[in-house]
Amino acid sequence: MKKITLLFFIVIVSSCSSSIIVNDDFRNDLGTENLRIAADLLDEEFNNNLETLTYEYYLRYLGENEVYSSKGLAAKIKQADDYFFKARENAFLLILYYDNEKCIISDISTTSNVDTVYWYKKNEIRPSAKEFANKIKF
């Protein structure tokens, strides 16, 4: 009985230590907040042209203007192992790589829904950011 209890405890502790970032809440928050931020930045900060928006500015603005419903989103975005960011006049594209989850998530800021979530296989080499971005119509 002690062995079963110990095994159960180890499973619980190990599952708690590796938290999943790309869950439903994260995807919903990312899509909604990117739409909100793009609108705010277009109107207030960039005079209706986001072409000079950078990833660093985006993250800083997101962190400083965080809403209660998506608290911690900027921190989760910063946990990405790699990213790709591109801005155009009226929108931006964000691609995030989470290697522990074998997940790539991309969002174009024109809708409140995340555009793509791709889980790659254990032995699959993840596509490069440029390669993945080329497949997205932005």
Q: Indicate the helix (H) or strand (E) that contains 105.
A: strand 103-108
Residues of the chain under the 50 pLDDT cut: 5-17
Amino acid at 80: A
> Within 10 A of 107 (CB to CB), how many other CB atoms are there?
25
pLDDT digits (tens, 9 = 90+) for 75-104: 999 999 999 999 999 999 999 999 999 999
pTM of the model: 0.82
Length of the chain in residues, anyone?
138
Is the CB of residue 129 less than 8 Å from the CB of residue 82? yes
- Predicted local distance difference test score (pLDDT) of residue 56: 97
Assess contact for 53 and 87: CB atoms under 8 A. Answer: yes
